[in-house]
Amino acid sequence: MLAFLGFLTIILVLTLIMSKKSSTLIALIIVPAVTGFITAFVTAPQTIIDAAAAKAEEAGAAFTPPVVTFGDQLTQTFKSLSGWMGSGLSSIVATGVMFIFAILFFSICSDAGVFDPIINKILKLTGNDPVKICIGTFVIGCICHLDGSGATTFLIAIPACMPLFRKMKMNFWVEATIVALAAGIMNVMPWGGPTIRAASAISGLGYEVSASQLWVGIMPSWIAGLVMALLCSAWLGRKEAKRLAAGIPADPCEVEEIKADTPENKDLVREGWRWYFNICLIIVLLFILIKGLLSPAATFMIGLCILLIVNYPNVKQQHDIINSHAKAAFLMVSIVFAAGAFTGVMKGSGMLTAMTDALVAIIPNSVGKVMAPVVGILSVPLSLLFDPDSFYYGVMPVIANAVAAMGGSAVAVAKASIMGQMTLGFPLSPLTGATFLLLGLAGQDLGDHQKHTLPYAWLISVVMVIIGCLFCGLLASA
C-alpha cells in the first residue's frame, strides 16, 4: 500500500505541475499532505501501540495493548503528519536562507552596475572577428548569469551583443546558442535553481549536502564543461567566419532592433573605488564558498550586508532596493520550503522506502553503481520532458533512493543530474518561460533553436559526466 501511495503521490504531483492545473507550490504541499494523511491514519493504531510498548519496556512494566479510539487515531494522524513535514522543512532551512541572500546579493550587484564595465570592455575587444565576437558573447552570458536568473541573462546579453552580429551579418541563431550554453553551464552554480533543488531533495532523504558542496563536488566536471562551452562558442565563430568568407548569406530572421537593457534608476550605479570593492567582494565570497570557510547562508548574509553598507548607506534606499528584489527571492524560496515538506512526508511516512524496495526488486543490483552516469547522460534531453520541480522533487529522489539501496551513491545521482537537467538543458526546454524570452529576443523558432543548440549542450553534458566518473565520484558506492 505504501508503495502504491508513493507512486500515486509522484504521479499526481507531476501531472498537476506539468499540466499547469496547479502551481508548483500548491502541488508540492497539498498532494503529499493528503496522501500523507491517509498513510498516517492507516498506520496510527500501530504507531500508538508501538509507542505504548516502548514506554512500558522503558518503565519495566507489563505491556497491555491500549484500546485505540477514533479520536486517538485522528490525533496521532495529525501528530505524525506534522512531524514528517517539520522534519523535511528543518533539513532545507539553510539552503533556503542561502538562496534568498544569494539572489539579493547578485541582483543588487547588477543594480550597482558591477558587470557593466566588464561587458562594455569585452564588446570593444571583440572587434570584427567572428571568433572573438562569439567568445565575447559567451563570456558576457556567463557574467550576466551570475545572479542565476535566465530572464536577466537573456535580457542583457542578447541585446548587448546583437549589434555586433547584425553589423557582421552573422546568424542570430549562433548568438542564441552561445548565450544558452553560457546560461546553462552557469546555472550549475550553488545558487542556481537546479543545484538548489538537488541539494534540497537529497537533504530531504537524509543526506546532508548543501548546494555549494554539490557544486564543489563536481568542480572538475564544471570546469571541463565551462571549457567545452567556450570551445563550442569558438567553433561556432569559426564556422561563421568561413560562411562569411564564402559569401553565403545568413539564415533569414526578423528581429527588431533592441537596445541593451540598463538599470531604470541610474542613481543606483556605483563607479570608482566602489566598483573595485564590489569586484573584490564577489571574489572573496566565491573563495569562501569553495574553501568552505563559512556556511553558504552565512557567507551571503554577511556579503549582502557589506554590499549594502558600502554602496547604499542610506537606510531607506536599502529598504527600497531589497523590496524591489524580494518578490523573486520569496517565490523561489517558498517552493524550496514546499519541497522540504514534500520530501519529509515521502521519507517519514515510509512511502519512499516502499517505492525504493519496489524498484530494487525489478532492477538488477549491478545497475545501481552505473545509474548515476546514465542519469547524467540523459539529463539534457530529460529537460525537455520534466520541468525542474517535477524532476528534482519527484523523479530524482526515487532514483537516488533506489540507487543507494542497490549499493550506489544517492549523492552521485544528484551530482549527475545537475550536469544537464535544467542546467545546460533549461534554455532548450519548452517548460521554462525564459526559453521563450531568449527565442523572442533572438528571433528564433523553438524547433530550430533546439536543432542548433541541443547537440552542443548534450556534448558538453556528456563530457562533464565522463569527467565526473573519473574525478567526481559518479561511480562511487554508498
Q: What is the pLDDT of residues 306-358, one digit of tens each?
A: 999 999 999 999 998 888 888 877 876 787 788 788 878 888 888 877 877 77
From CA 239, how far away is CA 286, in angstroms rounded? 35
C-alpha distances in Å from residue 71, one per residue of 51, 78, 81, 418:
16, 11, 16, 46
Q: Measured between alpha carbons, how far is residue 81 from residues 3, 158, 343, 431 in Å? A: 17, 48, 12, 32
32: its cell numbers: 503529499
Q: Which three cell numbers stand for residue 289?
A: 564558498
SS3 (DSSP) at 338: helix
Structural domain contains residue 41: yes
Give ∠ CA 399-377-396 in degrees, rounded to 5.
Answer: 20
Predicted pLDDT at 108: 87
Domain count, the chain: 2
Residues 39 and 177 in one domain: no
Domain shared by 169 and 293, yes or no: yes
Per the listing, cell 550536469 goes with 419
The rounded Cα 179 to chain-centroid distance in angstroms is 18
In a domain, 259, yes or no: yes
The residues that bridge with 477 in the sheet, in sequence order, are 408
CA-to-CA separations, 214 to 221, 249, 290, 418, in angstroms, rounded: 11, 45, 11, 9
**pLDDT tens track for 229-275:** 999 999 999 999 999 999 998 887 655 444 444 444 567 888 889 99
Residue 35 has a CB neighbour count (10 Å cut-off) of 23
Based on the domain organization, do 384 and 264 belong to the same domain? Answer: yes
Helical axes 70-91 vs 193-204, angle rounded to 10°? 140
Considering the domain architecture, whether residues 101 and 57 belong to the same structural domain is answered as: no
Which of 91, 113, 140 is where one domain is finished?
91
Q: Are residues 451 and 380 in the same domain?
A: yes
The cell numbers describing 38, all together, are 491517509
Report which of residues 43 and 58 the model is more confident about. 43
Report if residue 192 sits inside a domain. yes
Residues 73 and 119 both lie in one domain? no
Are 274 and 330 contained in the same domain?
yes
pLDDT band at 445 (very low <50, low <70, confident <90, very high): confident
Task: Kindly state whether residue 211 falls inside one of the protein's structural domains.
Answer: yes
Q: Is the pLDDT of residue 433 over 70?
A: no
Cell, residue 224: 571541463
Which residue type does 401 have?
N
pLDDT tops 80 at residue 361: no
Structural domain boundaries enclosing 68 = 2-91
Q: How far apart are CA 351 and CA 1, in angstroms?
A: 9
Q: What is the pTM of this model?
A: 0.70
Instruction: Report if residue 478 sits inside a domain.
Output: no
Domain boundary among 40, 64, 91: 91
pLDDT category of residue 159 using cuts at 50, 70 and 90: confident
Does pLDDT of 281 surpass 60? yes
Residue 330: inside a domain, yes or no?
yes
| One domain, residues 53 and 178 | no
Name the amino acid, one letter, at 128: N
Residues 42 and 141 placed together within one structural domain of the fold:
no
Per-residue confidence (pLDDT) for residue 237, from 0 to 100: 95
> Does the pLDDT of residue 422 top 60, yes or no?
yes
Residue 373 lies in a domain: yes
Asked if pLDDT for residue 469 goes beyond 90, the answer is yes
The DSSP string of 140-192 is HHHHHGGG--HHHHHHHHHHHHHHHHHHHT--HHHHHHHHHHHHHHHTTSTTS
Of the ranges 207-216, 250-259, 407-416, which one carries the lowest mean pLDDT score? Answer: 250-259
87 and 33, same structural domain? Answer: yes
Q: Are residues 340 and 198 in the same domain?
A: yes
pLDDT at residue 146, as a whole number: 81
Out of 91, 124, 154, a domain closes at: 91
Same domain, 202 and 79: no
Average pLDDT, integer, range 185-198? 90
- Write the pLDDT tens digit of every residue in 448-468: 888 999 999 999 999 999 999
